[in-house]
């Protein structure tokens, strides 16, 4: 594999059909049409089930429909043709598992805090009960792995 997706400039199509170009996290909207013409990037559309159309970019290398094309070797390609990896794919599986064990309680707490209706008729809702059980389980996993630091 050549590079990391998050570090590569790319063109994407937003939900409204507006094209955007991102270079190192900065959004560049001007002259996207010229860039698409210069690199001969074609587009196609498909009909959505609930009406309207969805616009796609066609990868010049493999000819498949994609939402994003990445700049690699002086041309735009899809992620597979450019052989790009996501950042998380560059670390070992054991590291990802330990990271998830560390982050799961925090993610669940965030969901619990932003739960719009934790109680109904002075009782916990099903969602709140499920989140509480998941928090207890993930906390137990955390303490079994890391103990009392």
Question: How is residue 25 written in tokens?
Answer: 């996290």
Question: How is residue 95 written in tokens?
Answer: 């590291």
Rounded Cα distance between 6 and 49, Å, is 31
Q: Which residues pair with 65 in a beta bridge?
A: 58
Rounded Cα distance between 113 and 100, Å, is 19
pLDDT tens per residue, range 100-122: 778 888 888 888 888 889 999 99
Q: Report the predicted TM-score, pTM, of the whole model to 2 decimal places.
A: 0.62
Q: Which pLDDT belongs to residue 77?
A: 92
pLDDT tens per residue, range 31-77: 677 788 888 889 898 998 988 888 899 999 999 999 889 988 889 99
Question: Regarding beta strands 84-85 and 3-4, do their DSSP bridges make them parallel or antiparallel, or are they unpaired?
Answer: parallel
Question: How is residue 77 written in tokens?
Answer: 């390609």
**pLDDT over 90 percentage in the chain:** 22
String of DSSP letters for the chain: --EEGGGS-EEEE-TTS-EEEEETTEEE-TTHHHHHHHTT-EEEEEE-TTSSEEEEEEPTTT--EESEEEEETTEEE-TTTTTEE-GGGGS-HHHHHHHHHHHHHHHHHHHHHT-S-SEETTEE-HHHHHHHHHHHHHHHHHHHHH---
Confidence of residue 87 (pLDDT cuts 50, 70, 90): confident
Q: What does the domain layout of the chain look like in residue ranges? A: 3-87, 91-146
27 pLDDT above the threshold of 70: no
Q: Which pLDDT belongs to residue 51?
A: 86
């Amino acid at each position: 594999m050549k590079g990391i997706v998050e570090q590569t400039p790319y063109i994407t199509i937003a939900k409204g059909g507006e094209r955007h170009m991102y270079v190192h996290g900065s959004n560049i909207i001007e002259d996207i049409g010229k860039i698409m013409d210069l690199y001969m990037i074609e587009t196609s559309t498909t009909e959505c089930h609930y009406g309207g159309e969805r616009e796609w970019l066609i990868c010049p290398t493999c000819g498949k429909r994609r939402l994003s094309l990445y700049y690699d070797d002086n041309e735009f390609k899809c992620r597979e043709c450019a052989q790009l990896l996501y950042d998380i794919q560059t670390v070992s599986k054991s590291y990802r598992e330990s990271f998830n064990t560390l982050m799961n309680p925090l993610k669940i707490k965030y969901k619990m805090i932003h739960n719009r209706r934790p109680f109904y008729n002075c009782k916990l809702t099903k969602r709140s009960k499920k989140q509480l059980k998941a928090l207890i389980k993930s906390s137990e996993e955390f303490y079994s792995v890391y103990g009392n630091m």
